[in-house]
Amino acid sequence: MALVRILVDGYSLLHNWPELAPGRRRHSARAREELIHVLTRYHDATGTPVTIFSTDPARRRERATGIESGG
C-alpha cells in the first residue's frame, strides 16, 4: 500500500476559497477554523492523513498544523 498524505497550503487555499466563511475576511480566524473543519471531515471520511501548513508571511514563525488519525 502506498503511503499517502495530503499537504495543504492553508494560506493559498483560503485566498482562493471565499465560500469558506461568507461575509468574513478570507484569512479570518473563522475562515481558518472552517478550513480545518472541512479537511477534518475529509480525513474522517477517507482516513487519508492531512497536513495543513501556511505560507502566510505574517505567520511564518508558527508551526504547521497537522490533522492526524487517532490510531
- Whether 35 is covered by a domain: the verdict is yes
Q: In terms of pLDDT, which residue wins out, 58 or 1?
A: 58
Residue ranges making up the domain that contains 37: 6-67
Average pLDDT for 12-36? 85
Q: How far apart are CA 58 and CA 27, in angstroms?
A: 11
Q: Quick check: 54 and 27 in contact, CB under 8 A?
A: no
CA distances from 23 to 13, 18, 19 (A): 17, 9, 9
Report the DSSP pairing between strands 65-67 and 50-53.
Answer: antiparallel
In this predicted structure, what is the pLDDT of residue 67? 57
Evaluate whether residue 1 is within a structural domain: no
Asked if residue 34 is part of any domain, the answer here is yes
**Global model pTM greater than 0.75:** no
Q: C-alpha cell of 68? A: 492526524
Total domains in the chain come to 1
Who has greater pLDDT, 67 or 26?
26
Overall average pLDDT of the 40-55 stretch: 90
pLDDT confidence band for 1 (50 / 70 / 90): low
Cα→Cα distances 29→18, 20, 21, 45, Å: 13, 11, 10, 24
